[in-house]
Chain A
Amino acid sequence: MESQSHSSDDTTMIAESVREVRQTFSSGKTREESWRREQLKRLLSLLLEREDDICRALGQDLGKHHVESYRDEVGPLIKSVNYALQGLKKWMAGRKAELPLAAFPASAQLVPEPLGVVLIMSSWNFPFGLCLEPLVGAIAAGNGAVIKPSELSPVSSSVLAELVHAYLDTTAIKIVQGGVSVGEQLLQQKWDKIFFTGGAKVGRVVMTAAARNLTPVALELGGKCPAVVDVLSSSWDQKIAMKRILSAKFGTCAGQACIAIDYILVEKKFSSTLVELLKTAIFSMFGENQKENIARIINKSHFSRLRNLLNEPMVTNSIVHGGWLDEDNLFIEPTLLLDPPVNSGIMSEEIFGPLLPIITLERIEDSIEFINSMPRPLAIYAFTNSEGLKKKLSSRTSSGSIVFNDAIIQYVADSFPFGGVGESGFGRYHGKFSFEVFSHEKVIARRSFLVDFWFRYPPWNDHKLQLFKSAYVFDYLGILLILLGLKKS
């Protein structure tokens, strides 16, 4: 489209920005623990002081409620920054390791170092979260960073730029705003790592561009995240499950989230109960005025895409709740579908919207085969009390993460990694993993001059060979015996 003509102002600005960040990185400033700590603290201030600006921007771009924005973006970010501040010293210190006898005496450590200057490309659905969570890791690891927010959430993009430039060290951390053309030009630069959140199509473009410079990448992509819903007999369990399911679909950016529940799998015999439970819960959770508590669709193009998914003939007939579209306000009400055709668009593509297909199966175990017939998703969810089903699901399917009896919540964890596998991406972050994804773990092996094993050097003979054979299996006794001449080959 506009990719052929790059504005020469843009090109200059981009090259200049990257050059400045690289210069700052080379000066060594960003490697100092004090710098990293200071930036993280300032980021924390940014989040605490400007919560209203952030939530207002999200309201304008996506119609998100303030509480949803806090729950999904601001809050988790505050938590992540605090976690990084707490862990920073320890993370920076690295760790020790052992060495074999043939190297004795010696010691070894693993010391993390920053990769250098990194590019973070974010998506539009959680514009603050998806720019700043990776940034926390990039800063903690001591890098310089350039962030390209998505142009599809322009208010957030511009507020982010304003806030970062007001609070953080802009000689080392920059926001570059723009669309496809700016993205392409950024990809022409040489980076030490690229962290990309978005769709597979652009993910391929990013990785191909990175290949030219042997730049390692992390790709946080998407997929169709299924929720397997087992028979739940207790009404308490049902109530909680419904809340969590609905929140993980309609309550999270109206389903426009990489880890939103895309579709449900349920046994035929439980399906009508499930539909009724969902309908009841939708009403009690979203009430009369749904627009207030549910986000909008990001733009007309995605709105049309979703409408087309619903308009496929066999799909329209499968709607059992909702289906009302308000194009002027880019609003789609929570919509439930029962058994749309498996080869329809809504069941082949990632939905990324407030449409929830429910697929019925003879037995709940059939969900495993169903899930495995699709590309590996970022998350698999299962609502069940059966330990047997949990075990089967976990061992026979593969996904970025698997969560039992809840959804989306894995996003706020620090102790285990967040990332995909196969088509849902590679690389991971959150908690210490954010620090690691932007670090190189350098090995430092030390030796003294005190002891040297003469058998290390040519000219070679059998005697030396035997000594080596023993040394390599840590067979100290064997070595001693050979040295004393008591053991032969």
Chain B
Amino acid sequence: MALGVEGVAGELRSIYATGKTKTFEWRVSQLKAILKITAHHEKEIVEALHSDLKKPELEAFLYEVSGVSSVCKYALKELHRWMMPEKVKTSMATYPSSAEIVSEPLGVVLVISTWNYPFLLSLEPVIGAIAAGNAVVLKPSEIAPATSSLLLKLLGEYMDTSAVKVVEGAVPETTALLEQKWDKIFYTGSGKVGRIILAAAAKHLTPVVLELGGKCPVVVDSNVNLKVTARRLIAGKWCYNSGQTCISADYAITTKEYASTLVDALSSELEKFYGKDPVKSNDLSSIINSYHFDRLTKLLDDEKVSGKIVLGGQRDKANLKIAPTIVLDAPEDSLILNEEIFGPLLPIVTVNKIEDSITLIKAKEKPLAAYLFTNDKKLKEEFIRSVSAGGIAINEIALHALEPTLPFGGVGESGMGSYHGKFSFDAFSHKKSVLQRGFSGDPAARYPPYTPGKLKFLQAMLSGSIIRILRALIGW
């Protein structure tokens, strides 16, 4: 079945070979084009996001439109610096010499995006790819169709389409793309598909970045400023696309003693945020589609879980909305505690001592992020030391993802590689080592015919010790 996408990598490769995308001017022109898109089409973008996700306008603006434009502005501001070679010192072993590390584009790269922040998670990697001088194909998620077709339209109008292409489609098109040879593949999505991508990449020895997910825990200690904690927790769960965010708090852990206090605080703040009937609030995103809606309601309707709902549970199937729901102490083997939730359900797991939360977290796969609310210095240090995750935030949720000077990526099941800011540029670059030597002379010791004297000299050179070198030279 000819889908029309079979030759796209090859097409881009010819364009890349002309050297066009490597020039500073081309990169700047493309980045500026993306800025124009966000500046002139904010309304359409917000509408598409509303159509796909019922995303509240402020969330759409903040995290997607403004998100993309600030990423782009940052890249434009820093590009010149990022493109500069990095001079490095050289050692005795290569003396005399000079060296630097030069960033080169990898070539032709593939970005496969996802549906929850369809605009941001498509364009942020693309911005990195362009900044690094690559030609790029973007495959947006078909699960957010309005955004996908808007991306096709807008990038088609504003970008250099010989080197920056959008390919829409679902599994068949993605498979056809994955069969081709890419110089890097950047994927955001699930671990299941991540494995497929990695196996496909292996055929061409293509390096990949996988931004996956996981169950991001939030541990709440009892010595916190409860009001602020509750608000930050709510923001970190429900204000990010109704929990459909890879770094939102998936589940919470607190002590048995503190649980009801926490639930009360959450309940009271939630009402301030979303009103008495949250399902009707315009400030809450919907679930992306009925498949995920059903998946989430099934988690709640599990007979061992439904009795543990302490807040929320209301749903509106027609509008694909689920109210912020809290479940207290669902059974350990229930799905809601074992699968990534990706929705507005917050299970709270209680432990005897707050330190036990660390053991609980370590028993699961490494998440993209782990959060801790506490004023206890010792607990903070222990948590940071023992919990492995892409990133850890103390007394905050998801914050680190918004900062371009911090790398954003997972470890283990939550992924490999990272991006944001300069890390995006680096993710799509090859760092070439450039070593310069002159002909000014060389210890004969390097070369055959080999003698014991030469051995002594080499031993001295590689040890870096001046005394030894002098002695070897004199013949001791």
Contacts and interface: CB of A to CB of B under 8 A. Distances in A.
A251 B66 contact: no
Interface string A74-105: 01101100100000000000000111101100
A296 B57 CA distance: 71
Contacts of A406: 97, 435, 437
Interface stretch (B24-32, B99-107, B142-150, B311-319): B99-107
B432 to A, nearest CB: 6
Interface stretch (A162-170, A213-221, A308-316): A213-221
A98 B448 CA distance: 53
Nearest to B411: A440
B352 interface: no
A169 to B, nearest CB: 21
Interface in A238-262: 240-241, 243-244, 246-247, 251
Contacts of B390: 442-443
A406 to B, nearest CB: 4
Contact of A449 (B225, B283, B459): B225
Nearest to B203: A204
A403 B400 contact: no
A294 B449 CA distance: 9
A79 B439 contact: no
A396 B433 CA distance: 14
A360 interface: no
B107 A422 contact: yes
B394 interface: yes
B396 interface: yes
Interface string A379-404: 00000000000100010101111111
Interface in A198-215: 200, 203-204, 207-208, 210-212, 214
B403 A99 contact: yes
Contacts of B101: 416-417
Contacts of A443: 390-392, 400, 406-408
Size range of the interface on B?
35 or more
Interface string B197-226: 011011101010010100000000000110
Contact of B210 (A113, A115, A214, A449): A214
A75 B458 contact: yes
Nearest to A77: B462
Nearest to B431: A417
B430 A421 contact: yes
Contacts of A66: 450, 455
Contacts of A418: 433
Contacts of B411: 115, 440, 442
Interface in B297-355: none
Contact of B437 (A294, A404, A464): A404
A464 to B, nearest CB: 7
B399 A445 contact: yes
Nearest to B362: A26
A293 interface: yes
Contacts of B210: 214
B291 interface: no
Please indicate which of the listed interface residues B235, B273, B405 has the most CB atoms of chain A within 10 Å of its own CB: B405
A441 interface: yes
A270 interface: no
19 contacts: A67-B448, A68-B450, A75-B461, A82-B463, A100-B403, A207-B201, A214-B413, A234-B439, A240-B441, A402-B435, A404-B434, A409-B435, A428-B431, A442-B411, A445-B406, A448-B395, A457-B231, A465-B61, A473-B70
Interface of A: 65-68, 70-71, 75-76, 78-79, 82, 97-100, 102-103, 106, 108, 110-111, 113, 115-116, 192, 200, 203-204, 207-208, 210-212, 214, 216, 219, 221, 234, 236-237, 240-241, 243-244, 246-247, 251, 285-287, 292-294, 372, 390, 394, 396, 398-406, 409-410, 412-418, 421-423, 425-428, 440-449, 452, 456-460, 464-465, 468-469, 472-473
Given A402-B432, A415-B89, 9 more contacts: A97-B405, A116-B412, A207-B202, A211-B198, A292-B450, A415-B90, A426-B205, A443-B408, A445-B394
